[in-house]
């Protein structure tokens, strides 16, 4: 076969038109239904590029243009929020988001989460080394933030007790060992150290807490038996707790009865039932807290009555208990506490508020505006846990 006759055949077999070696480029396929508009995608890309270059004023103008053109686009408001965060922090990002949200009933969880994350980072770096900063570090570390974990680990290495407690409560083994050493060395606030060890869930905590059942202080013995009750959800510790029902102090005996009840052992039930009949509302609240793991009709009636107790601290404690079952009642009680004349009661109510609305993203978002630094950090921590 001659070369002149072979070329057309090769072109046909190779899929190239025999009419020539060149052809028009294949047009792109049409976009899928619902795909982002090309103009919007281009505008967003330009906005993100300006933000990446640090040209914040130009990025803000571009974000405003995109948002004006595509007011219902979550991608557009995400850009606008990020630009405002870069310019003025989490509060500015929250302002932008809420202007966009308006009267919409549904949240954009990823945006609220981003704002909460930034608020926690700001709490760590832009304020005193207080309880709020520690709460922010703990929440960030629980969320997997390596820098927060590293910062707390550094504190543990230098002997910082608060960092060790926070990190141990997340199950960090090095922090657990540090706390055990501090406890054995005579930690100042041993009850808080015991609580952190219990929250760690570590098997290493069982022995030191068991040893504290023989401590001279009823407070320490009570904290230890309560801690063993917490650890008992993972390990079989009922037999270690039962002897404490014979402790010489009623406070400790009640803590033992409560710990056993949570673990499904009714050995101390009669003690808790006696508290139900006590005249003091505070005693009845202790019984309700101890039996919250089995909220039967009697328990529900008791807690509802306690939300009307004379003592505001009892009402707030009852609101925490009733929240999963009657959130509206709990919120009313907490709101009353927030308006109390006593600043200590207001602080107690603010602390309880984020726990009461822990599964309500909209309510938690509103709490990011609270004046109290610690209350804001707690709300942001709940958001990270909710939208994880």
The mean pLDDT value for 19-47 works out to: 75
Residues 152 and 236 in one domain: yes
Residues 84 and 153 in one domain: no
130 lies in some domain:
no
The mean pLDDT value for 32-37 works out to: 70
Q: Is 345 a residue whose pLDDT tops 80? A: yes
What end-to-end distance do the CA atoms of the chain give, in Å? Answer: 70
Choose the final residue of a domain: 106, 133, 161. Answer: 106
Confidence of residue 372 (pLDDT cuts 50, 70, 90): confident
Confidence of residue 10 (pLDDT cuts 50, 70, 90): very low
Of residues 22 and 161, the one with the higher pLDDT is 161
Choose the final residue of a domain: 56, 87, 106. Answer: 106
pLDDT at 255: 95
Average pLDDT for the chain = 90
pLDDT at 199: 93
Residues 91 and 150 in one domain: no
The mean pLDDT value for 183-207 works out to: 90
322 lies in some domain:
no
100 lies in some domain:
yes
Of residues 293 and 6, the one with the higher pLDDT is 293
Residues 97 and 152 in one domain: no
Q: Is 30 a residue whose pLDDT tops 60? A: yes
Q: Give me the domain span that covers residue 216.
A: 145-241
pLDDT at 189: 85
237 lies in some domain:
yes
The mean pLDDT value for 195-224 works out to: 95
Residues 208 and 152 in one domain: yes
Of residues 29 and 40, the one with the higher pLDDT is 40
Residues 62 and 150 in one domain: no
pLDDT at 185: 86
82 lies in some domain:
yes
Which of 17-26, 186-195, 282-291 bottoms out in mean pLDDT, i.e. has the lowest?
Answer: 17-26
pLDDT at 13: 45
pLDDT at 22: 56
Q: Is 7 a residue whose pLDDT tops 50? A: no
44 lies in some domain:
yes
Q: Is 369 a residue whose pLDDT tops 90? A: yes
Of residues 8 and 350, the one with the higher pLDDT is 350
Q: Could you read off the pLDDT of 108-159 as tens digits, one per residue?
A: 999 999 999 999 999 999 988 898 999 999 999 999 999 999 999 998 888 8
Number of structural domains the chain divides into: 2
pLDDT at 9: 45
Choose the final residue of a domain: 241, 273, 301. Answer: 241
pLDDT at 11: 42
The mean pLDDT value for 202-215 works out to: 95
pLDDT winner (highest mean) among 189-193, 215-219, 368-372? 215-219
Q: Is the pTM higher than 0.85?
A: no
Q: Could you read off the pLDDT of 84-110 as tens digits, one per residue?
A: 999 999 999 999 999 999 988 899 999
Q: Could you read off the pLDDT of 232-286 as tens digits, one per residue?
A: 888 889 999 999 999 999 999 999 999 999 999 999 999 999 998 899 999 999 9
197 lies in some domain:
yes
Q: Is 4 a residue whose pLDDT tops 60? A: no
Residues 166 and 78 in one domain: no
314 lies in some domain:
no
pLDDT at 52: 96
Residues 44 and 92 in one domain: yes
Q: Is 34 a residue whose pLDDT tops 80? A: no
pLDDT at 6: 46
């Amino acid at each position: 076969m001659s070369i002149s006759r072979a070329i057309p055949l090769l072109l046909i077999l190779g899929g190239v038109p025999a009419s020539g070696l060149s052809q028009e480029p294949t047009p792109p396929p049409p976009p899928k239904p619902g795909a982002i508009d090309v103009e919007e995608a281009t505008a967003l890309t330009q906005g993100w590029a300006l933000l990446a270059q640090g040209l914040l004023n130009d990025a803000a103008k571009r974000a405003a243009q995109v948002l004006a053109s595509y007011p219902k686009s979550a991608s557009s408001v995400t850009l606008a929020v990020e630009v405002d965060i870069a310019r003025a922090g989490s509060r500015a990002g929250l302002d932008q988001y809420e202007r966009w949200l308006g009267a919409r009933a549904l949240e954009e969880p990823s945006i609220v989460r981003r704002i909460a994350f930034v608020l926690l980072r700001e709490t760590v770096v832009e304020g005193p080394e207080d309880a709020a900063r520690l709460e922010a570090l703990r929440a960030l570390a629980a969320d997997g933030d390596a820098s927060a974990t590293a910062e707390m680990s550094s504190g543990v290495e230098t002997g910082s007790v608060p960092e060790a407690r926070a990190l141990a409560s997340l199950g960090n083994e090095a922090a657990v060992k540090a706390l055990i050493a501090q406890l054995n060395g005579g930690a100042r606030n041993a009850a808080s150290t015991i609580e952190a060890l219990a929250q760690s869930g570590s098997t290493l905590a069982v022995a030191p807490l068991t040893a504290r059942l023989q401590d001279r202080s009823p407070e320490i013995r009570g904290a230890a038996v309560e801690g063993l009750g917490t650890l008992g959800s993972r390990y079989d510790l009922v037999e270690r707790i039962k002897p404490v029902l014979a402790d010489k102090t009623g406070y400790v005996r009640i803590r033992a009865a409560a710990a056993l009840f949570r673990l499904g052992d009714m050995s101390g039930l009669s003690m808790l039932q006696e508290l139900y009949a006590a005249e003091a509302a505070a005693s009845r609240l202790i019984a309700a807290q101890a039996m919250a793991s089995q909220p039967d009709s009697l328990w529900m009636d008791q807690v509802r009555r306690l939300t009307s107790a004379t003592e505001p601290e009892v009402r707030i404690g009852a609101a925490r208990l009733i929240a999963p079952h009657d959130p509206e009642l709990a919120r009313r009680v907490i709101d009353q506490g927030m308006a109390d004349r006593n600043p200590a009661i207001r602080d107690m109510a603010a602390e309880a508020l984020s726990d009461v609305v822990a599964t309500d993203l909209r309510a938690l978002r509103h709490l990011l505006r609270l004046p109290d630094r610690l209350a804001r950090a707690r709300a942001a921590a709940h958001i990270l846990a909710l939208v994880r």
